Amino acid sequence: MKRKGSSIRRFRLTKIVATLGPASNSPEMIRALFEAGVDVFRFNFSHGSHADHGERLRFVRQLEEEEGRPIAVMADLQGPKLRIGRFADGPIKVGPGHRIRLDLSTEPGTETRVGLPHPEIFAAINAGTDLLVDDGRVRLRVESCSAEHADTVVVSGTKLSDRKGVNVPGVVLPLSPLTPKDREDLAFALDEGVDWVALSFVQRPEDVAEARRLIAGRAALLSKLEKPSAIEHLERIVELSDGIMVARGDLGVEMPAEDVPPIQKRIIREARIEGKPVIVATQMLESMVGAPAPTRAEASDVATAVYDGADAVMLSAETAAGEYPVEAVSMMDRIARRVEHDPLYRTIMDAQHPNPEATAADAITAAAHQVADTIQAAAIVTYTTSGSTTLRAARERPAVPILCLTSSIFTARRLQLAFGVHAVNTSDVSNFSEMVQKATRIAHDDGIAEDGQRLVITAGVPFGTPGNTNILRIAWVEAP
């Protein structure tokens, strides 16, 4: 991979994830999105063929080679999709008190019954269980049920139509998060060399463990928290995952809307404590699907995620199918940079600072943050093989970039999701002195530090031992 130097520098610490789709399907548009500020490209396997995703991945890797900057690719698996069947004569009108039976039949629905081809739901529900259809637009309450049907009454809503999604709040369904389609998609994505796999429909820690076994270290695993049951096991799920996504769409369906903001903050806090990258997603700039500017509320929503200390914020339909994909990325970039220059932002980051663990590596990493602040260093430099040293530095949420030097292109790509990390894939070094020389040269070439500025450098000796950070040094940058 050739390197282009300072042109690849980002002037913000929060990362941007953008979804590719029909509106961003060409090399020219992918390049434009990258230049506007995208750090991670998301491939949504709920849509598109393997051929589509494979072609887009080749475009991204070609761009990576041309720019000399590692770019992360995330494969977002669809997960189980629970839907009612079709109706014989089109949508039906319903209202409070309307009774409708759900059953396993594949016959077209009527005004009094419709198929729900998911025996797992009937196995888990009881009288009194609420079912939410069409993102909660229709609420059904189960009056009686068996292993093959459920008699329900409409609590709220006005219309039911074909193939609408069903949510079962408050119930853990006996379902694996990996359907046969997901397993095929996962095998394809791993063979293509994606960097992150996002797991949908996580309900319990065992779901994460199952995906980990299948991935077998070939990509980093990101758990999407979109089910209330997952929140009950938050600490364990975060511990088992490499990263976390706050998927607010389904969370907002299955629990009261007023509960989502504090849960978002709780998830971000827990992920930061564990040193795991966390993304805030769903409807962040939704109006920009069809408009060149966001609403003020959407701008505030993005800003709130940045103030909360999220590693990344994500665009979905805005870049996958919207009319203004580049403008959406540019807007997100501007909002993040504006927040990060607010003195209140730094106050919040420092006030929410997690305590270091009682290890030499954490002690050195915490000290690097403090030293960088004290001497107004241009950057903190980490030298890593696995990425663990760099992630601990990102956990500190320093006010300056984290220049990560790694000989592993896979590590460099994965770390593109982490807060403040400017990852550089470079050849290995044999001693600390050589590493210092390389760090100062790359920091200067990439526009991270100017002649006469200082760097705070951390590393582990002997080299190549993951998590063995035990050295801190201050180095001056001198122009060649």
> Per the residue annotation, which of 14, 282, 426, 458 is the catalytic one?
282
C-alpha to C-alpha distances, 49 to 43, 62, 457, nearest whole angstrom: 11, 20, 45
Tally the C-alpha atoms within 13 A of residue 280's C-alpha that lie toward its C-beta.
31
C-alpha to C-alpha distances, 400 to 13, 370, 374, 420, nearest whole angstrom: 8, 11, 12, 7
Tokens coding 250 = 């389904």
**Distance, C-alpha 219 to centroid of its chain:** 14
| Residue whose pair of structure tokens reads 């009056």 in the numeric block | 143
Alpha helices in 133-278 (DSSP H): 180-192, 205-215, 228-232, 234-240, 248-254, 260-274
Query: What end-to-end distance do the CA atoms of the chain give, in Å?
Result: 22
C-alpha to C-alpha distances, 73 to 317, 341, 394, nearest whole angstrom: 17, 28, 20
Query: Residues 429, 411, 395, 370: what is their CA dihedral angle, to the nearest 10 degrees?
Result: 20
| Residue whose pair of structure tokens reads 């029909």 in the numeric block | 22
Among 245, 250, 378, 259, which Cα is nearest to 313's? Answer: 245
SS3 assignment, position 361: helix
Active-site annotation holds for 282: yes
Tally the C-alpha atoms within 13 A of residue 208's C-alpha that lie toward its C-beta.
22
Active-site annotation holds for 224: yes
Among 275, 271, 278, 266, which Cα is nearest to 310's? Answer: 278
How, if at all, do strands 379-383 and 454-459 pair?
A: parallel
Residue 341: partners with Cβ closer than 8 Å, 6 or more residues away: none
Tokens coding 460 = 């582990």
Strand locations in 55-206 (E): 72-76, 92-93, 99-103, 113-115, 130-133, 138-145, 149-156, 159-160, 166-167, 196-199
> Per the residue annotation, which of 10, 15, 42, 164 is the catalytic one?
42
> Per the residue annotation, which of 81, 83, 236, 346 is the catalytic one?
83
SS3 assignment, position 41: strand
> Per the residue annotation, which of 10, 12, 113, 224 is the catalytic one?
224
Residue 203 near residue 172, CB atoms below 8 Å: yes
Active-site annotation holds for 276: no
C-alpha to C-alpha distances, 180 to 76, 82, 124, 265, nearest whole angstrom: 15, 14, 21, 34
What positions carry a catalytic annotation? Answer: 42, 83, 224, 282
